[in-house]
């Protein structure tokens, strides 16, 4: 069941999948700190790209959950429902 979660003053909708992604992001950030201390530029670039990718994935899930919730609260709203061609 999706639930609205407040993380660092950002409102987002989460489910089990998105929470796992956040855990993965945190793990990647910890590993990234080690590579920054070692000044391993190749790994730094790789991990920064992975983190961005995971953030994007999390945002997509969060937005889909928001849209699903919005459709339940305002089913006639055209912002949350695709427009139908007549």
Instruction: List Cβ neighbours of 24 (8 Å cut-off, separation of 6 or more).
Output: 54
Q: Would you say residue 60 lies in a domain?
A: yes
Mean pLDDT value of segment 56-63: 87
How many structural domains compose the chain?
1
Containing 43, the helix (H) or strand (E) segment is helix 41-73
Q: Would you say residue 47 lies in a domain?
A: yes
Q: Would you say residue 42 lies in a domain?
A: yes
Q: Would you say residue 48 lies in a domain?
A: yes
Mean pLDDT value of segment 21-50: 93
Greater pLDDT, 57 or 4: 57
Question: Predicted confidence band at 79 (pLDDT cuts at 50, 70, 90)?
Answer: low
Greater pLDDT, 43 or 77: 43
Nearest Cα to Cα of residue 5 among 48, 45, 58, 43: 58
Instruction: List Cβ neighbours of 62 (8 Å cut-off, separation of 6 or more).
Output: 12, 13, 14, 18
Domain that holds residue 51: 28-72
Mean pLDDT value of segment 59-64: 84
pLDDT at 80 over 50: no
């Amino acid at each position: 069941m999706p639930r609205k979660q407040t993380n660092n003053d950002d409102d987002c909708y989460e489910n089990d999948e998105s929470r796992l992604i956040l855990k993965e992001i945190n793990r990647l950030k910890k590993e990234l700190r080690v590579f920054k201390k070692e000044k391993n530029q190749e790994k730094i670039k790789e991990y920064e790209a992975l983190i961005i990718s995971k953030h994007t994935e999390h945002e997509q899930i969060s937005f889909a959950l928001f849209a699903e919730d919005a459709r339940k609260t305002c089913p006639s709203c055209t912002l949350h429902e695709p427009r139908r061609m007549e």
